[in-house]
Chain A
């Protein structure tokens, strides 16, 4: 799948204040935990506007910032950096469960 690697696509992200969960700003100006619902800025200027908007909506989140993303042919977005991929998708290994006595 061809990817837009122009480096100009971005979404606004932050951590939710009450629990630290990773959130993204959507088109309606709401914070969502789902990356696929995030508003995508398609150039640097729009990115700056998106970040300003995120900061204006930051009452219940911590330190909004822009995350560089790519987009494939069917509109799926994915963070560029591994760090942001992990923030968006979670641990890259299976953590042990509370009732586990052996690691699976």
Chain B
């Protein structure tokens, strides 16, 4: 690979002195809190909310540090630092999550302040990755590169990040609050299943604004968000968000943990009443300090200016030859490489789902390897997808063979993005204090069973999503095949649902197929589902299309005959 260690400016928001001071002070504040806890000056009851505010959870075997990766964007320098922290303070690997964060599962309390200080060196932190506040804002992982993009959503994610960081009014909401933003008509950020989803679009007059979708979410009571505003001018975003959060803060239920999310409020009072309340609050504040000045928007937008990409050929003889000579490369091009807004470039997804691997996990060496590839071929930039993969947003077509080979050396060149083994899975009962059943071993068995690439490509696009409990961190409700682990009298059982989807215009919550199956029958059940699909699919139909056309019954009959 070319020399990779040279200074490269980032093409996303850079911390200023205010950000650095805030993060630095928070580290020292937490260091003192940890010292007092270990010295016995603070009880666990007093300390727990302080550590959670800094992203430090206590899981089954150890503390877990959840690190925020704003809008899923990382520089190579930041990724190397994450690798370094994982090696120095953890067990040398990390887990990329469906919220575009990184979780380190074996952090010691006494080391946590040093880990946070190391994060601060690269302008990162773990604030607001826990607690009833506005969490890390997520975005389309193809942002700034996608061919279908209207506007880079990360500009608005950053504006929301600055507004929501330590926002005093919204630090103790009824429950956690998740916002996702997409700038493309093809929704890769699952905006309809967030507390607030924002979709940038251009109206007939050519003006760009937001569709504001409120009250979506997964978990115990899955809901698809309702559109409160079809079109919101961009400079009014913060006032509208503030109005929405204020209404939620005022009326959201605090008497019942399971009914505290905004989706329950919207469901109980109805979208129309919610709209009325929000619009009334919005009318009172929209011309105040939250109306964004044009120069403020432009100043942030300039930081997300795309990297200067020189002209590169769109058709390259070596790429075409390799495509013919190597089946794995050809399959990789089909599944892991997406069009870029510039003809001579592509977006490349590094699959963190090699056969049999825990979905989303990467070792320190792998993280460093990805950082090296980003520097050599990808403008030093990496994205974390909510599907638990890593993305190089700007790779020249000419460099695709080299990137494929380099990823292959890391074990991240599996040509399975969007396929049956590109499984989303939460950490499950192996790590998580909330889980009822294991997720990762189930994902591993399915992955190994369907490992053969040609078969995966024959099956086509099929999203399996696995959660180890009803909190749905593995997004099982919106999997084409959703798998939910439950505990019945001490036995792990897995409930299967079909037909979930997050595609825009087709967003759907899956329907439970029937009785849950035992852990040792999950693979057979999935195999039966796939067999039913293959026997019934029409031309060009994906698994979920066939399911929609023929309904659940044929799938149900075959699964319960098999298990």
Contacts and interface: CB of A to CB of B under 8 A. Distances in A.
Contact of B363 (A18, A19, A80, A98): A98
A62 B57 CA distance: 12
A20 B354 contact: no
Interface string B51-74: 000000011111100000000000
B37 interface: yes
Interface size range of chain B in the complex:
35 or more
A95 interface: yes
Nearest to B430: A91
A9 B93 CA distance: 37
A97 B437 CA distance: 24
Interface in A8-58: 15, 17-22
B410 A86 contact: no
Nearest to A98: B92
Interface stretch (B5-13, B160-168, B309-317, B438-446): B438-446
B19 interface: no
Interface in B492-549: 492
A62 B38 CA distance: 11
Contacts of B63: 19-20
Contacts of A92: 430, 438, 441
A81 B490 contact: yes
Interface in B435-488: 437-438, 440-441, 444, 487
A95 B108 contact: no
Given A17-B109, A19-B62, A62-B44, A98 B37 contact: no
A93 B86 contact: no
B144 interface: no
Contact of B110 (A19, A21, A97, A103): A19
A103 B60 contact: no
Interface string A42-79: 00000000000000000100110000000000000000
B330 interface: no
A17 B37 contact: yes
Contacts of A101: 363, 365-366, 369, 409-411
A2 interface: no
Contacts of A99: 92, 363-365
Nearest to B353: A103
A96 interface: yes
A86 B91 contact: no
Nearest to B60: A87
Interface size range of chain A in the complex:
20 to 34
A85 B91 CA distance: 21
Nearest to B109: A18
A59 B107 CA distance: 20
A96 B86 contact: no
Contacts of B107: 20
A83 B429 contact: yes
A91 B91 CA distance: 13
A1 interface: no
A3 to B, nearest CB: 14
B365 A98 contact: yes
A86 B430 contact: yes
Contact of A18 (B110, B356, B430): B110
A99 B410 CA distance: 11
Interface of B: 37-38, 40, 44, 58-63, 86-87, 91-93, 107-110, 354, 356-358, 361-366, 369, 409-411, 429-431, 437-438, 440-441, 444, 487, 490, 492
Given A95-B358, A98-B93, 14 more contacts: A17-B109, A21-B61, A62-B58, A91-B430, A93-B440, A96-B358, A96-B363, A96-B366, A98-B86, A98-B364, A99-B365, A101-B369, A101-B411, A102-B354
29 contacts: A15-B58, A17-B38, A18-B109, A19-B62, A19-B109, A19-B110, A20-B63, A21-B62, A81-B490, A82-B429, A87-B61, A91-B431, A92-B430, A92-B441, A95-B91, A95-B93, A95-B358, A96-B358, A96-B361, A96-B366, A97-B92, A97-B93, A98-B91, A99-B364, A100-B366, A101-B411, A102-B354, A103-B356, A103-B357
Interface of A: 15, 17-22, 59, 62-63, 80-83, 86-87, 90-93, 95-103
